[in-house]
Structure 1
Amino acid sequence: MKTSASTSASTSWSSRIGFILSAAGSAIGLGAIWKFPYTAGTNGGAVFFMLFLLFTVLIGLPVLLAEFYIGRKSGKNAVDAFRTLAPGSQWPWVGRMGVAACFVLLSFYSVVGGWVLNYVVHAFSGAVHPGADFGALFGATIASPANALAYQAIFMLLTVAVVQGGIAEGIEKANRYLMPALFILFLVLAVRSLTLPGAMKGVEFLLKPDWRYLNPQTMLIALGQAFFALSIGVSAMITYAAYLGRDQDVFRAGNSVMWLNLLISLLAGLVIFPAVFALGFEPGQGPGLIFVVLPAVFMQIPFGRLLFGVFMVLVSFATLTSAFAMLETVIASSIRDNQGKRRSHTWLIGTAIFIVGIPSALSFGAWKELTFFGKTVFDLWDYLITAWIMPVGALCIALFTGWCQQKTDVLQHMREGSSAASALPALWLAALRYLAPLAILLVFANTLGWI
């Protein structure tokens, strides 16, 4: 029997693959394509990737499955899910925190999404060309108030246009096209990058461990990347899983989402590092890798302008699919199963998110002097969400599912529709109860500079 949130075809996933592609789309965003390559580049490449893989499997996946449990078992939005599973308690505040986090996160994420869209235009308009000063171009792009706000607005319009259509007709339909396109374009670019003279140095950097980088700091950074790579901690996966039927195999779905995310991270590395090494650049360039270094790399490759344009198009795909999940988390909590309100609420909330994001968009130009605790508005929101709300949210989800729900009920529910080995649910729950909270506390402490 399906949950109450998924009894209507218009408010449920039409297929398992639709859910997997959409959940993977939520996870595969700038974290996989932008943050993973530059973080790997500054932390030893292969050792970092190995640790990231290990921590994603052992820690990220258990928390992801916990969000699937909460969403599917309750069949409700992020707030009502906790109210349903723990009536009369304070646990719904975890859902409220997740909804608020998605609202704020999308307000500044849409700014970066706007930069990506702007770079698509740069690529095809000729602004990206051999000999250009790419540092100056990026600086001008993010400092221009008109550009920043216009492209942020376009990004939000695209997000709202999809989410207003609901689950099957909006989010799922978009992801059915965007996610396969993302993988195909990445494969094409990876093949081109790998055929450059000297490209194997980049492959070795990504896949051949240099054990000098195996240290506590690299382990903690890799743990943090694994933790954030799956979109856990802000109730987005609770929201998506609420539309999932009881006949679906959540273990298989979780594994698929995790491996798709890891594959995109690997492909991003295979696109970027071979080209970087083949053309004499350094891998440890930091956050400017995509916007400043990669244009220079592509300009030295035949058909470089076209290939860079294609690369930015697929980055925009990944950015949008994550934005869909953030906005849907807020919308689902607002309409509370009343699909008649979806269109109007999506436009109203989307507009509110854009307005709240204006100070973030102006943080690199007109309002760059406006700071709080030494941080611009953009940096402040980013710090509050990633250093505080996401770790706390994920910790609460692990504790709620692992310790506050009846163990037998949790295991029984997770076995519904599952073809997994009989021991797997018990192993998952053990990892969720012990490994995940300890790892999240370590990431939290490291982010705050306590260790």
Structure 2
Amino acid sequence: MSKRDQFASKIGFILAAAGSAIGLGAIWKFPYMAGTNGGSVFIILFILCTLVIGLPILVAEFMIGRRGQSDAVTSFKKQAPRTPWFLTGWLGFILSGIILSFYSVVGGWILSYLVRAIGFKLSSNDENFFAELFGNLTLNAWEVVLAQGAFLLIVILIISSGIQNGVEKASKWMMPLLFVFFIILAIRSMTLDGAMDGIKFMFVPDWSYLTGKTLLLALGQAFFSLSVGVAAMLTYASYLKKDVRLGSSAMNVAWMNIGISILAGLVIFPAVFALGFSPDQGPGLVFIIIPAVFQHIPLGSIFLIIFFILLLFATITSAIAMLEIVVATAMGSKFEKRKKYAWLCGIGIFIIGIPSALSFGKLADVQILGRSIFDFADFFTNSIGMPIGALLMALFAGYQLKRAEQLEELPVKPWVFTIWRILVRYVAPIAIIIVLYQGIKG
């Protein structure tokens, strides 16, 4: 039996964990959520919610994972034998598979756009061109399914190479490039004539947006953007050595996630305002508005290629975490069979995801509780599954683990530990229950 893999370095783990968190949530969802909810006020609330609610749960998940040194299911079985807590691990397994099944569809769209961008086919003076392009792409059954498969193939190849040679190596070069590309694009966007209106939108608060609804949306964004609740962070932390400090690692991941989200805003909003577009375009912002914005920028075609490359990197790093949870759970202690399980799980998720890929075309008439297959998978995982998963993580770390066990994994100053314990035992669960209620209600 081969030995269980581990991260070779702390920075490798932080970049991999940050990659899991920094996906479409930061680059695609954050800008349109901020754009439709007042900009700066939403951003302030998002930062506060990330640090007060998201960070304590992230630490909790790290704690459970490193203590277990196993896949999610086995970790709970080791730490709470003869109890139903192991079902939390299976919940993460199921949620990760469903998330990756529709997430890979969006990854396929990004690949399709990138291929067109590289071929300089994303250029038109027709203002309806990009809306029609996106509509035609999602209706093209062969292209969306093949692109989804191509995206998953990349992820499978990385996962099959293991933690050090696959996940860690990929994260070590993709994440720094992600930051570099974003900084280049942000500088270009902020130097456009009229860009200051977009910067003001992001950093000068309009307090009329300070409402309960905005707070709830910011809490949901902070919560989901850290990838907590699906055992992704638990699984990554299970490959950690004991000398890595969990508190500082979690803080680094949280700040990197906030940083990329703000950089995404600095790429998008100054350009959107400078060129007369509206910031409240919703989910179509990345695939319809952004390509149109780049049409009006010198060397826009080159910058558009860079944008879709970094969007692809961010999507891949999150997808890696999702597939790793499924593979780690499926293979258990059969570490030598990682490649086999990576392919089996990847192909299985591809098949499960085909209905989501076709839900905008051939299966558009198929509805589940009034939603398309794609939208239902998104709703079920984001609004119900992830909050339940995160609530269970917080309760397990806060109540099932003894104080001495918590201190062993989190050797920080007494007052820091006390604050974390209060947040994870009381504040975070209440906040999660509110998000869960609103998600089911909405």
Shorter-chain TM-score category? over 0.9
Partner of 2:320, secondary structure, is: helix
For residue 338 of structure 1, report the CA deviation from its aligned partner: 2.1
Partner of 2:410, secondary structure, is: helix
Aligned ranges for residues 116-135 of structure 1 at < 5 Å? 116-132=110-126, 133-135=129-131
The equivalent residue for 1:326 is: 322
1:94 corresponds to 2:88: yes
Aligned ranges for residues 172-187 of structure 1 at < 5 Å? 172-187=168-183
The equivalent residue for 1:77 is: 71
Partner of 1:380, secondary structure, is: helix
CA contact (8 A) 1:130 1:300 kept: no
The equivalent residue for 1:52 is: 46
The equivalent residue for 2:436 is: 444
Tell me the alpha carbon deviations over residues 252-307 of structure 1, each in whole angstroms, 9 at most, x when there is no partner: 10000000000000000000000000001110010000001111111000011111
Q: Aligned partners of 2:441 and 2:272: how far apart in 1? A: 32
The residue identity in structure 2 corresponding to 1:25 is G
1:378 corresponds to 2:374: yes
CA contact (8 A) 1:411 1:426 kept: no
The equivalent residue for 1:33 is: 27
The residue identity in structure 1 corresponding to 2:357 is A
Aligned ranges for residues 7-406 of structure 1 at < 5 Å? 8=3, 11-132=5-126, 133-406=129-402
The residue identity in structure 2 corresponding to 1:151 is A
Q: Aligned partners of 2:243 and 2:414: how far apart in 1? A: 17
Q: Aligned partners of 1:366 and 1:333: how far apart in 2? A: 33
Aligned residues: 440
The residue identity in structure 1 corresponding to 2:67 is K
CA contact (8 A) 2:246 2:409 kept: no
For residue 442 of structure 1, report the CA deviation from its aligned partner: 1.1
- Once the two structures are overlaid, the 10-residue window that deviates more, 167-176 or 335-344, is 335-344
Identity %: 47
Query: Which residue of 415, 426, 429 maps to 1:423?
Result: 415
Q: Aligned partners of 2:403 and 2:422: how far apart in 1? A: 10
The residue identity in structure 1 corresponding to 2:14 is I
The residue identity in structure 2 corresponding to 1:437 is P
Gaps (5+ residues) in structure 2?
none
For residue 337 of structure 1, report the CA deviation from its aligned partner: 2.9
Partner of 1:431, secondary structure, is: helix
Q: Aligned partners of 1:422 and 1:200: how far apart in 2? A: 44
For residue 102 of structure 1, report the CA deviation from its aligned partner: 0.4
For residue 408 of structure 1, report the CA deviation from its aligned partner: 2.4
Q: Aligned partners of 1:351 and 1:127: how far apart in 2? A: 31
Query: Which residue of 402, 422, 425 maps to 1:433?
Result: 425
Gaps (5+ residues) in structure 1?
none
RMSD of Structure 2 on Structure 1 (CA): 1.3
For residue 201 of structure 1, report the CA deviation from its aligned partner: 0.7
The residue identity in structure 2 corresponding to 1:67 is E
Partner of 2:240, secondary structure, is: coil
CA contact (8 A) 1:272 1:294 kept: yes
CA contact (8 A) 1:391 1:444 kept: yes
Q: Aligned partners of 1:35 and 1:249: how far apart in 2? A: 30
Q: Aligned partners of 1:427 and 1:191: how far apart in 2? A: 38
Q: Aligned partners of 1:360 and 1:382: how far apart in 2? A: 10
For residue 382 of structure 1, report the CA deviation from its aligned partner: 1.0
Q: Aligned partners of 2:223 and 2:369: how far apart in 1? A: 26
CA contact (8 A) 2:19 2:318 kept: yes
Q: Aligned partners of 2:440 and 2:10: how far apart in 1? A: 39
For residue 372 of structure 1, report the CA deviation from its aligned partner: 1.9
Q: Aligned partners of 1:246 and 1:397: how far apart in 2? A: 20
Partner of 1:82, secondary structure, is: helix
For residue 68 of structure 1, report the CA deviation from its aligned partner: 0.2
- Once the two structures are overlaid, the 10-residue window that deviates more, 141-150 or 333-342, is 333-342
The residue identity in structure 1 corresponding to 2:78 is T
Q: Aligned partners of 2:90 and 2:221: how far apart in 1? A: 24
CA contact (8 A) 2:101 2:352 kept: yes
Structure 1 stretches of 4+ with a deviation exceeding 2 A read 420-423
Q: Aligned partners of 2:282 and 2:312: how far apart in 1? A: 20
Tell me the alpha carbon deviations over residues 134-156 of structure 1, each in whole angstroms, 9 at most, x when there is no partner: 10000011110011011000000
For residue 413 of structure 1, report the CA deviation from its aligned partner: 2.4
The residue identity in structure 1 corresponding to 2:328 is A
